[in-house]
Structure 1
Amino acid sequence: MNALRAKSLSFRLLTSEGLVLAAFFALVAVVLEQGFRESAEEALKERLQVQVYSLLSSAELKDNGELSVSQNLQDPRFMNPGSGLYGFIRQTNKKQVWSSPSAIGLDPPPLPDMAPGEPAFTREKRNRYAFHYRVIWQTLAGMEREYLFTVVEDGDFVEQQVKHFAVTLWTWLLVIGVVLIFIQFSLLRWSLKPLRRIVRDLESIEKGTRSRLDHYYATELQGLANNLNAFISSERAHLERYRNTLADLAHSLKTPLAILHGCAHSFQGNQDAVIEQLTYMDKIIQYQLQRAAAKGESKTVGASDVSDIIRKTVASLTKVYLDKGISFDLNIPEASPVYYEEGDLYEIIGNLLDNASKWCRKTVRVQVALKQRKNRRNYAVFLLIEDDGPGIPQQKLGEILKRGVRADENIHGHGIGMAVVSDLIELLDGKLEGMPSKTLGGMSWSVYLP
């Protein structure tokens, strides 16, 4: 499931757009939250400035130089201990002249560096804000006094405002984000609809229900559809030509084969062997003729016995290579039923055993195992064929699977046997591995069929 999502273009686009959108909303939320905090602090500053002016209006410098503050302050919170609003009046020598009843037990905030008539707004410890104002008063007698008026307020109200704003902001951004992602998903599906349509048409062509891409596609995809149609037509023409050629070949061989079959009855001695081989050749031609006429149609496949095919092939090769006296070491089950075309299995096993017999010195070993697992994949049958011949150089292993290439040009052959084996195994979604034999010293071929 994760692999399918990783390959999905829609999933990748939607994920990337979602990540960009989330990053953008997070940045917007941080900026707006910081802006709201600064705005709330600015409002608090103006409010504290009003409180300082209120203290100034309530204070009076007497002729003897003493400062007195009226008990009837404008804000009653100054009179309640722990109310969150505190007032302090100090001289420039840090001597405290007055503090509000609400500031009992509290120390005044540090004195900022400021000139007379200049205000200062600071944020103190324990989430408190302070507004300072420095003044110089002169009595009627000409006596001057310098005082620092300070009003402190707890920042809980500001924090509550910011928290409430943040919750509201993130909630709405989340709702908007979900709506935008849904809109993006809808637009993405609508935008990729032509691609999904062409994919469905290609699947119909693969199933055989449609012969070409004949719908009207988006302008950007029309060129692709035309190229695919040209490619499909070309491949069908090639395939039809191959089928016709193979059918003609099979038909042309049937008559000479029938004549040979009839003449074989007049042979003496090896008559049974000749008839057996002619029958085997006839089966091969019938199989190839059926493949040529199949035209890609899927047919129900019955069970074929791998062990029986190996025994019959070995019996034939023993007669063909009688002069070599080959020892066939068979490690196979009594029966190995698998659901494959018998002709395909004859092609694979026959070519591999024929090559092993051709190149071996004296020994060919065959091993069959059912229900094998390799590279986290289950296989229905495993076939191992080894010989004690000279083997194949590592650099030629890939070359001999190509048509027309032989391991040794001095040896008779057409160079298509291993290519046929490789093509068949690939069509059957199997796996073919070639390597030097560790036990016999020659070549080792491993075949895995699902």
Structure 2
Amino acid sequence: MKPGRSIRFRLLLGAALVLVAFLAGVGVALQRAHADSSRTDRLARLQGTVYLLLAAAEVDGQGRLVMPPSLPEPRLALPGSGLYASVAVRGQAQGWHSESTVGQQLPFPPTAEVGRWDYADASGNGRRYLSVAYSVLYEARSQPVPLVLSVLEDAAALEREVAVFERTLWAWLAGAGLFLLLSQTLLLEWALDPLRRVTREIRRIEDGEQEEITGRYPAEIAALTDNLNTLVRQERERQSRYREALSYLAHSLKTPLAVLRTALGQPATLGTAVEEQVQRMDAIVQHQLGRGAASGATRFAPAIALAPIAQRVRESLEKVHAARNLRFAIDCPPNLRWRIDEGDAFEVFGNLLDNAAKWARSRITARVRRDGSRLLVRVEDDGPGFGDDPQAMLQMHVRGDETVPGHGVGLAIVRDIVASHHGQIALSRSALGGAQVDIALPQP
């Protein structure tokens, strides 16, 4: 399977896109805020110039406008200074223009609503202007005189100011973006270094250079490395069981085969020898196959309900021993679940209950419960029990009574499965008077 994009590439690309979008949004917002603020500031200054005109304007007895020869604003007296003023009398041709308007064709607003400020962008002669106008009724002796006071300012200065700010702003944002991207790259390299070290250790494990992951890693990765080590150990244990089972199988079959070879030269005992040795080889094969197939403790096996498995085994044994009227009592909570391979669970319950059913007189009980982080299983019967040496019954081919059908491998298989789960098994006399088998399995 072709690998996808690396985590490093994805993080860097995601961080770059988010950073660019963020800086672009910040830049546009600051740019607009500065442009609006600069425009508002200049309009406020033009409004102050209008107040200056309003304070200087006079109307004589004949209703004619009278303006002083000079104003406190020096730019109004300098031709082409960029600041222009006009005071017009509505409905009359007469009016006043500042000396800065000499030789200029300017777009002064012709009228304005009395008592309302008029802010606008005007254009003329290929230039743009900021315009502020205000209209008042001047109380003269004869009658009120409507005056329109207007101020224009060349917008080029505002545009230069905004352009300088934009260049400075975007230059700094670009520098900040590059710095943040470089910092993000270095941080990602540092943060992803544990993953690279884990990858190198896994390669060394694959090449046989080390047994498991041994490095110290951050808490977020330590759980992963622990699980990987668990998987490695479980796989090695499984392979070891396979090798041991094959080795034991080959070794154990040598003796029965040798007996059969010898029996070939003795026709009188050949039939009996063949039957005995075939049964022995069948028991050996069953034991070693069960031992090799045991899944063992696995942290990642799904938790399965144990009550249905025990009930299915009981139902099967009730049919097999129907003629004996055996009573099976299974005490297992229906909600009890445990991480164990289903095949291992069937082997344990099947062999324990089958062994108890073979020896029981009338009653078999099984109790399954959870005690903290352990699973406890107890199977009892009211048969003759294990005798003076119960632990010997865990050995292969050891049987309590040769007249009872069986190969003496059931408890040995259970012992191997329990061992593969790092558990414990104990044989003793039960309160029912017969045999008692106790199993304790730790949580995987």
Q: TM-score with structure 2 length normalisation?
A: 0.49
Greater CA radius of gyration, 1 or 2? 2
